[in-house]
């Protein structure tokens, strides 16, 4: 009987040892950088239009009452440093932790923020959509952006925006580079550098002067954009105009344009609003 | 998941057919169905989230001398408000067969298990919170000699309508020494020692980046072990337990590589009308999930272990507005003291019918954490240093509850309760600040006749923070043996001035219980045992049906 128990104990000890998996401090990191190709576009195949790199859209569903949202913003800043213009980040203030504001405190929540939050079946914040695929927590964004950057882009997109008087004139130029794309063209207005309240993580006090960047202010061409179709080699231009609202800081405005369909966002572009005095 | 339904029904039919032929086979089961017809309510902001919602469960159990088997059908395709999208679905997620052979018991299929207090393993079902973290696999329980219980198990864990990929394995041994030493039994002394081990193996594809340049190397194995001892003699009982978990970088702990631990000491006395309970617990970095997929690990699903909250589970409506949720990842020092005394009848304080007084003090505090980088947790490091007995700066929760129960006449019984709380809303809910409350509760029951009883509650919550004061009233008329009629109103007389009214009619007949009603439910935390779920406001018609056979 004693012998039998000794075998059991030995087998148990072996299992315990087999299960040990301590990772030494100097082995916890794996070097795996985002490889950014040079800015030149790919050399096209014979008979094909000049190819272009994909610009990735990251929709960050955030809120001023969301304590972990500044952590997500940190990830965006890290990504922007490496990816530059290949990443377009948009802060969408919607969902239960967004703040509509009151007489004393500036709120950044917008109705379409709530609409997007509900439409995408989001359930927690911060959460993001990378090129409108499955919702991801911020710790998963870098991996998703890497994957998207590696994909070819089927079209080239370029926007210009000019503010003259109180009207922003917007022009979006698209060129089909690979196959046909059917979907929607969405144009948004963003604002940087908004000083407003933000709850902070790790039990830190709320920051009354937190700087909110790339905040979605409005959808220029409707909540879900307008129908859009482009064939390989074809060029399409869309123009639109937007009245400036007094609460927007004209110095800090940008336009984001992107084409999306059921397969996600196909291409995105961001341009600063140029002011003509 | 749907395929299992077919397999299950087939195996149950075979088993059932065989079983019928044998003597001593019993069938039992239950049905529980909670239904809601929601309505949009501009007052509370409640949405009409569907035309008909229901959480319905049907359990079937077949027992015989050597083999037991069971299954559960769950219909949650249109669930009640407050559950995640992944909660939706239907099927037979539970199906199991248990064989009793001599001193061994073998279970195949789904099962629930708890080692010790659950510090390293607790799988259980809590329907109100949508928790069901059963394991699918096998378990063997052996009792080789009297007083010794050995368990071994392995399986994958349920997360709503899928099984997480991580393989959970474990073993537990418990020895009751009083079975070996007759002298201990003779003088009423119980000594029990136990030990457990749990291993999680996950070959994760999850790529977690520290920065756009570096990815974290995550461990495939996470081990946890636990030792415990209890000593009881007469009215006294002392219990101690300690658990440790190996490095388990996760979203919950900020991807730090640090061991987790939990230690608990509990002592109690119960005799001669007096009961005393003293408990202390320290835990740190003990969030233990069966998936590293962040979108699945967020929330209360996929938990392998459970740390009990050393706070009162409140049943009165206003006392339950600010409940405490155990801080598994950040850790906590938690203390609880409870004293109860029964004043005998026909004494000056006990009066004609006797009186019971109970006082409970709960205090939960942050543990000391000195981060390597000032105020921030830094991924890939050991996170922080922590002195075992030192407290951190924040108080998470404090509650003083005093309850007095007294029968004032043959027909009238009165409960009075006072609760004083200090609730750290930022820690528990992620917003707000510190909420201080004073809650006064009176609960009286008058028996008009053996068949007619009326119960009433009056409650008032006083606070300057959050939504301000609340008042609550309830009347409940019981007409034995079939009927019960309840009306209540919870009124926020502080900030919102909203009334959350409710009316319910309950009918019991035989093994059936039906409850129908209409009312408003406020948005807030629904908690049990320190685990909480945020439930949105909803309004509508409700219907509940329970049946046991």
Residue B461 CA from chain centroid, whole number: 25
Å between B349 CA and nearest CA of chain A: 47
Per-residue pLDDT band for A36 (boundaries 50, 70, 90) equals confident
Mutation target for A interface from B212, B258, B373, B394: give the one with most A CBs within 10 A.
Answer: B212
Å between A110 CA and nearest CA of chain B: 17
Q: Do B84 and A123 touch (CB under 8 A)?
A: yes
N-term to C-term CA, chain B? 26
For the stretch B485-511, pLDDT in tens is 999 999 999 999 999 999 999 999 999
Kindly tell me if the per-residue pLDDT of B302 is higher than 50: yes
- On chain B, the residues whose CB falls within 8 A of the CB of A97 are 431
3-state DSSP call for residue A168? strand
B211 touches chain A (CB under 8 A): yes
Break chain B down into helix, strand, coil percent, rounded to 5. Answer: 10, 60, 35
Q: How far apart are CA B52 and CA B399, in angstroms?
A: 39
Å between A96 CA and nearest CA of chain B: 10
3-state DSSP call for residue B426? helix
- On chain B, the residues whose CB falls within 8 A of the CB of A146 are 212
Nearest CA in chain B to A201: B430
Contact B417, B401 (CB under 8 A): yes
Q: What is residue B106's predicted lDDT score, i.e. its pLDDT? A: 96
* Averaged pLDDT, B165-174: 96
- On chain A, the residues whose CB falls within 8 A of the CB of B197 are 12, 15-16
Q: How many CB pairs under 8 A join A and B?
A: 112
B199 touches chain A (CB under 8 A): yes
Contact A217, A254 (CB under 8 A): no
For the stretch B443-458, pLDDT in tens is 999 999 999 999 999 9
Q: Do B295 and A12 touch (CB under 8 A)?
A: no
Angle at A213 between CA A207 and CA A215, to 5 degrees: 105
Q: How far apart are CA B300 and CA B531, in angstroms?
A: 7
Q: How far apart are CA A68 and CA B229, in angstroms?
A: 40
Q: Do B223 and A23 touch (CB under 8 A)?
A: no
Q: How far apart are CA B161 and CA B390, in angstroms?
A: 42
Going by C-alpha positions, the residue among B83, B533, B129, B529 that lies closest to residue B306 is B529
Kindly tell me if the per-residue pLDDT of B468 is higher than 50: yes
Which helix or strand (DSSP H or E) is residue A147 part of? helix A141-149
Å between A139 CA and nearest CA of chain B: 6
Nearest CA in chain A to B200: A19
Q: How far apart are CA B311 and CA B323, in angstroms?
A: 9
Nearest CA in chain B to A99: B431
* Averaged pLDDT, A162-174: 95
Per-residue pLDDT band for B10 (boundaries 50, 70, 90) equals very low
- The larger pLDDT score, comparing residue A6 to residue B4, is at A6
Angle at B84 between CA B82 and CA B87, to 5 degrees: 110
Annotated domain spans of chain B: 1-101
Nearest CA in chain B to A80: B212
Across A149-153, A182-186, B1-5, which has the greatest mean pLDDT?
A: A182-186
B213 touches chain A (CB under 8 A): yes
The answer for residues whose C-beta is within 8 angstroms of residue A223's C-beta and 6 or more apart is A112, A115, A116
Kindly tell me if the per-residue pLDDT of B326 is higher than 60: yes
Supply φ then ψ for residue B119, to 5 degrees: -60, -35
Q: Which residues lie across from B498 on neighbouring strands? A: none
Q: How far apart are CA B69 and CA B27, in angstroms?
A: 10
Residue B378: CA count within 13 A, CB half-sphere: 11
Q: What is residue B9's predicted lDDT score, i.e. its pLDDT? A: 47
The CB density around residue B384, as the number of other CB atoms within 10 Å, is 21
Nearest CA in chain B to A123: B84
Residue B70, CA distances (Å) to B15, B17, B60, B123, B360 in order = 11, 15, 5, 17, 40
Which helix or strand (DSSP H or E) is residue A13 part of? helix A2-18
Q: How far apart are CA B211 and CA B189, in angstroms?
A: 58
Entry pTM: 0.87
Residue A97, CA distances (Å) to A76, A109, B72, B357, B527 in order = 19, 9, 37, 43, 21
How does DSSP assign B373-388, residue by residue? Answer: BBTB--TTS--EE--T
Q: Do B298 and A28 touch (CB under 8 A)?
A: no
Supply φ then ψ for residue A42, to 5 degrees: -65, 150
Nearest-CB residue to A65 (from B169, B382, B431): B431
Kindly tell me if the per-residue pLDDT of A58 is higher than 70: yes
Å between A174 CA and nearest CA of chain B: 30
Residue B264 CA from chain centroid, whole number: 18
The answer for residues whose C-beta is within 8 angstroms of residue B534's C-beta and 6 or more apart is B82, B429, B523, B524, B525, B526
Q: How far apart are CA B397 and CA B319, in angstroms?
A: 13
Per-residue pLDDT band for B179 (boundaries 50, 70, 90) equals confident
Q: How far apart are CA B276 and CA B342, in angstroms?
A: 12
- On chain B, the residues whose CB falls within 8 A of the CB of A125 are none
Kindly tell me if the per-residue pLDDT of B340 is higher than 60: yes
- On chain B, the residues whose CB falls within 8 A of the CB of A15 are 169, 197, 199
Which helix or strand (DSSP H or E) is residue A222 part of? none
Q: How far apart are CA B489 and CA B458, in angstroms?
A: 10
Which helix or strand (DSSP H or E) is residue A28 part of? none
Nearest-CB residue to B212 (from A21, A82, A139): A82
- On chain A, the residues whose CB falls within 8 A of the CB of B246 are 20-22
Å between B154 CA and nearest CA of chain A: 13
Q: What is residue A9's predicted lDDT score, i.e. its pLDDT? A: 58
Which helix or strand (DSSP H or E) is residue A138 part of? none
Nearest-CB residue to A33 (from B84, B212, B376): B212
Kindly tell me if the per-residue pLDDT of B208 is higher than 90: no
Q: What is residue B383's predicted lDDT score, i.e. its pLDDT? A: 86
Contact B291, B297 (CB under 8 A): yes
The CB density around residue A14, as the number of other CB atoms within 10 Å, is 10
Contact A221, A172 (CB under 8 A): no
Nearest-CB residue to B85 (from A12, A29, A123): A123
Q: What is residue B24's predicted lDDT score, i.e. its pLDDT? A: 80
Nearest CA in chain A to B217: A28
Query: Which residues from A are below 8 Å from B when comparing CB atoms?
Result: 12, 15-16, 18-23, 25, 27-34, 65-68, 78-79, 81-83, 97, 121, 123-124, 134-137, 139-140, 142-143, 145-146, 199, 202-204
For the stretch A59-70, pLDDT in tens is 999 999 898 899
Kindly tell me if the per-residue pLDDT of B174 is higher than 70: yes
Q: How far apart are CA B522 and CA B317, in angstroms?
A: 11
Nearest CA in chain A to B299: A124
- On chain A, the residues whose CB falls within 8 A of the CB of B154 are none
* Averaged pLDDT, B140-165: 95
Kindly tell me if the per-residue pLDDT of B541 is higher than 80: yes
Q: How far apart are CA A148 and CA A130, in angstroms?
A: 8
Annotated domain spans of chain A: 48-276
Going by C-alpha positions, the residue among B547, B531, B546, B548 that lies closest to residue B126 is B531
Q: How far apart are CA B328 and CA B306, in angstroms?
A: 8
Q: Do B212 and A34 touch (CB under 8 A)?
A: yes
N-term to C-term CA, chain A? 95
Rounded to the nearest integer, the mean pLDDT of chain B is: 91
Q: Do B209 and A33 touch (CB under 8 A)?
A: no
Percent of chain B with pLDDT over 90: 74
Percent of chain A with pLDDT over 90: 69
For the stretch B343-386, pLDDT in tens is 999 898 888 899 999 999 999 999 999 888 766 667 778 889 99
Mutation target for A interface from B209, B294, B425, B429: give the one with most A CBs within 10 A.
Answer: B209
The answer for residues whose C-beta is within 8 angstroms of residue B32's C-beta and 6 or more apart is B56, B57, B58, B127, B544, B545, B546, B547
B66 touches chain A (CB under 8 A): no
Q: What is residue A13's predicted lDDT score, i.e. its pLDDT? A: 58
B437-476 residues touching A, CB cutoff 8 A: none
Q: Which CATH number is A48-276 given?
A: 2.60.40.10
For the stretch A92-101, pLDDT in tens is 999 988 999 8
Q: Do A139 and B207 touch (CB under 8 A)?
A: no
Nearest CA in chain A to B169: A15
For the stretch A215-244, pLDDT in tens is 999 999 999 999 999 999 899 999 999 999
For the stretch B209-233, pLDDT in tens is 888 888 899 999 999 999 999 999 9
For the stretch A111-165, pLDDT in tens is 999 999 999 999 888 999 999 999 999 989 999 999 999 998 999 999 999 999 9
- On chain B, the residues whose CB falls within 8 A of the CB of A134 are 295
- On chain B, the residues whose CB falls within 8 A of the CB of A135 are 295
- On chain A, the residues whose CB falls within 8 A of the CB of B381 are 25
- The larger pLDDT score, comparing residue A33 to residue B441, is at B441
């Amino acid at each position: 009987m004693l012998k039998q128990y000794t075998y059991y104990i030995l087998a148990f000890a072996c299992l315990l040892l087999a299960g040990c998996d301590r990772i030494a401090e100097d082995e916890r990191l794996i070097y795996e950088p985002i490889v950014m190709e040079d800015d030149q576009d790919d050399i096209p195949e014979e008979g094909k239009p000049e190819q272009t790199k994909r610009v990735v859209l990251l929709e960050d569903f955030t809120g001023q009452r969301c304590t972990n949202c500044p952590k997500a913003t940190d990830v965006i800043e890290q990504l922007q440093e490496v990816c530059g213009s290949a990443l377009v980040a948009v802060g969408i203030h919607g969902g239960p932790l967004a703040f509509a504001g009151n007489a004393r405190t500036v709120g950044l929540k917008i109705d379409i923020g709530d609409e997007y939050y509900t439409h995408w079946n989001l359930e927690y914040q911060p959460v993001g959509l990378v090129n409108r695929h499955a919702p991801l927590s911020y710790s998963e964004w870098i991996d998703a952006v890497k994957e998207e950057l590696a994909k070819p882009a089927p079209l080239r997109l370029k926007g210009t925006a000019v503010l003259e008087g109180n009207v922003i004139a917007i022009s979006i130029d698209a060129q089909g580079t690979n196959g046909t794309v059917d979907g929607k063209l969405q144009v948004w207005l963003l604002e940087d550098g908004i000083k407003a309240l933000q709850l902070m993580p790790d039990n830190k006090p709320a920051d009354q002067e937190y700087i909110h960047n790339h905040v979605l202010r409005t959808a220029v061409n409707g909540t879900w954009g307008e129908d859009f179709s482009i064939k390989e080699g074809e060029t399409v231009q869309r123009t639109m105009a937007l009245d400036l609202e007094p609460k927007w800081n004209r110095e800090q405005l940008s336009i984001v344009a992107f084409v999306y369909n059921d397969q996600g966002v196909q291409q995105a572009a961001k341009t600063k609003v140029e002011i003509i005095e | 998941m749907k395929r299992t339904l077919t397999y299950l029904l087939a195996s149950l039919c075979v088993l059932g057919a065989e079983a019928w032929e044998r003597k001593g086979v019993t069938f039992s089961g239950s049905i529980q169905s909670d239904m809601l017809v929601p309505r949009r309510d501009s007052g509370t902001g409640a949405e009409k989230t569907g035309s008909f919602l229901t959480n319905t469960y049907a359990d079937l159990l077949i027992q015989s001398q050597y083999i037991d088997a069971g299954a559960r059908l769950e219909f949650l395709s249109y669930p009640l408000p407050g559950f995640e999208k992944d909660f939706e679905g239907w099927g037979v997620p539970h199906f199991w067969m248990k064989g009793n052979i001599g001193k061994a018991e073998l279970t195949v299929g789904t099962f629930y298990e708890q080692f010790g207090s659950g510090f390293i393993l607790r799988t259980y079902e809590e329907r109100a919170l949508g928790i069901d973290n059963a394991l699918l696999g096998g378990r063997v329980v052996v009792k080789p000699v009297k007083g010794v219980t050995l368990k071994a198990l392995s399986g994958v864990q349920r997360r709503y309508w899928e099984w997480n990929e991580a393989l959970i394995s474990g073993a537990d041994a418990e020895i009751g020494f009083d079975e070996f030493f007759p002298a201990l039994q003779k003088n009423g002394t119980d000594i029990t020692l136990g030990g457990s081990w749990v291993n999680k193996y996950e070959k994760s594809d999850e790529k977690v980046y520290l920065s756009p340049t570096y990815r974290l190397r995550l461990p495939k194995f996470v081990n946890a072990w636990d030792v415990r001892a209890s000593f009881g003699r007469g009215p006294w009982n002392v219990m101690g337990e300690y658990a440790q978990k190996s490095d388990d970088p996760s979203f919950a702990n900020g991807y730090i590589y640090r061991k987790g631990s939990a230690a608990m000491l509990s002592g109690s006395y119960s005799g001669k009308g007096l009961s005393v309970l003293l408990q202390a617990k320290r835990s740190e970095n003990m969030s233990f999930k069966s998936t590293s997929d962040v979108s699945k690990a967020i929330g209360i699903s996929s938990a392998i272990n459970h740390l009990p909250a050393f706070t009162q589970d409140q049943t009165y409506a206003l006392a339950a507005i600010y409940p405490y949720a155990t801080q598994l990842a950040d850790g906590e020092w938690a203390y609880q003291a409870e004293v109860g005394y029964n004043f005998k009848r026909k004494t000056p304080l006990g009066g004609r019918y006797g009186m019971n007084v109970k006082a409970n003090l709960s205090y939960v505090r942050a543990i000391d954490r000195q981060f390597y980088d000032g105020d921030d947790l830094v991924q890939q490091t050991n996170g922080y240093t922590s002195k075992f007995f030192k407290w951190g700066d924040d108080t998470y929760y404090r509650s003083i509850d005093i309850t007095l129960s007294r029968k004032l006449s043959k027909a009238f019984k009165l409960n009075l309760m006072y609760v004083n709380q200090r609730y750290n809303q930022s820690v528990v809910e992620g917003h707000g600040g510190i909420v201080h409350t004073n809650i006064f509760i009176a609960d009286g029951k008058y028996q008009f006749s053996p068949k007619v009883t009326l119960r009433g509650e009056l409650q008032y919550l006083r606070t300057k923070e959050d939504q301000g004061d609340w008042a609550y009233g309830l009347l409940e008329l019981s007409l034995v043996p079939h009927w019960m009629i309840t009306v209540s109103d919870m009124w926020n007389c502080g900030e919102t001035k909203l009334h959350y009214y409710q009316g319910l009619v309950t009918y019991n007949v035989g093994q059936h219980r039906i409850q129908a009603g209409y009312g408003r439910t406020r948005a807030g935390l629904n908690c049990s045992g320190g685990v909480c779920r945020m439930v949105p406001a909803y309004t509508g018609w409700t219907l509940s049906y329970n049946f046991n056979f």
